[in-house]
Structure 1
Amino acid sequence: MSRESVYVIYELLKSINKTIHREVGKKLGFKNANPSVMAIMFFLKDGEAKTLKEIASCVGLANSTVSGIIERLVNEGYVKRIQDREDRRKALISITDKAKEMHRAVENEYKDYIEGILKNANEDDIEIVISGLIRLNEILKESERV
């Protein structure tokens, strides 16, 4: 595969992700609903507390950027900091019940948004999108095993 193909795939995935996050966030009225905030919230959705470094590494942002976003989310009541019992210098970050409710609303809104943008697509186009996404998912899973 050429480097150009990799770049095109990367840019398309980034654009799709950014557009969906932005549109869903706007529809739900989240004032800080940018793709970085949404990525952090989705990473934390399982409820397991994570360190700032783990979050930054997963979402691909600098620790300082994630720290600022976490501070805003703490102030808005979406996440909380918990002192690590083993290492008092380390704080663990987890979502609150408010964030869990927000996640359910976001998930439903994502489904509605996708349904809305695909309502005018014909069945052939939908099948192409689905088969492409299935294959991409398979390729991702195969690369995890390597």
Structure 2
Amino acid sequence: MDKTKMENVTNNLLNLIFHVNNKLFNHSEIVKNNAIPPSHMKVLFHLLNIKSTSVSNVAKCLDISKPNMTPIIDKLISEGFVHRYTDSQDRRKLKIELTDKAYKFLEEKKIEMKNNLSERISSLEEDDLINLDYHITEMSKIIKKIK
């Protein structure tokens, strides 16, 4: 792809991210209804996708410093959302995984978010909803290919 087309796609994608963020997600409402800070929520949602991993891997993937990870993980453990254990292959490594309580909590959060999204897009006409669904499906297929 030539440079101009790449720049156009990049600009359009960035604009789309901003629009989705501003129009569909009310961050203050999401945070307000949580007793858990946003950084802790990021860790929970990250673990939801990868199941079990090392604390240092979570820190790296979420761009959280290792010293900041300790209190986050400690708080999540004390709240009963995360279980910490020693890696069976390398006892020097600590691994973490979600508890059943965390899975239930995150499922409730997903339902809240879906209901919120549903409410926000309910003002669209049926043709727009059909169009939106088609394009989201197609974009998802393409985005999954990104390395």
Same fold (TM over 0.5): yes
Length-normalised TM-score, structure 1: 0.74
Which protein has the larger Cα radius of gyration, Structure 1 or Structure 2? 2
> Counterparts in 2 of 1:13-32, with a 5 A limit?
13=17, 16=20, 20=25, 22=27, 23-26=29-32, 29-32=33-36
Q: Secondary structure of 1:142's partner? A: coil
Q: How many residue pairs align between the two structures?
A: 140
How far the C-alpha of 1:118 sits from its partner, in A, is: 1.2
- How far did residue 92 of structure 1 move? 0.5
One-letter code aligned to 1:109: E
Q: What letter is aligned with 1:61? A: D
Letter in 1 for 2:131: I
| Counterpart contact for 1:52–1:63, Cα < 8 Å | no
SS at match of 2:25: helix
In the alignment, does 2:136 pair up with 1:133? yes
Unaligned stretches of 5+ residues in structure 1: none
Q: Which amino acid aligns with 2:34?
A: F
Residue among 88, 106, 109 paired with 1:106: 109
Counterpart position of 2:57: 54
CA gap 1:21/1:57 in 2 versus in 1, 3 angstroms? farther
For 1:120, the equivalent position in structure 2 comes to 123
**Structure 2 residue 76 is matched with structure 1 residue 81:** no
Matched residues, percent identical?
24
Superposition deviation, residue 33 in structure 1: 4.4
Measure how far apart 1:7 and its partner are: 4.6
Task: Report what 1:70 is aligned to.
Answer: 73
TM-score using structure 2 length: 0.73
- Whether the 8 Å contact between 1:24 and 1:113 is mirrored in structure 2 is no
Distance across 2 between alignment mates of 1:137 and 1:117: 20
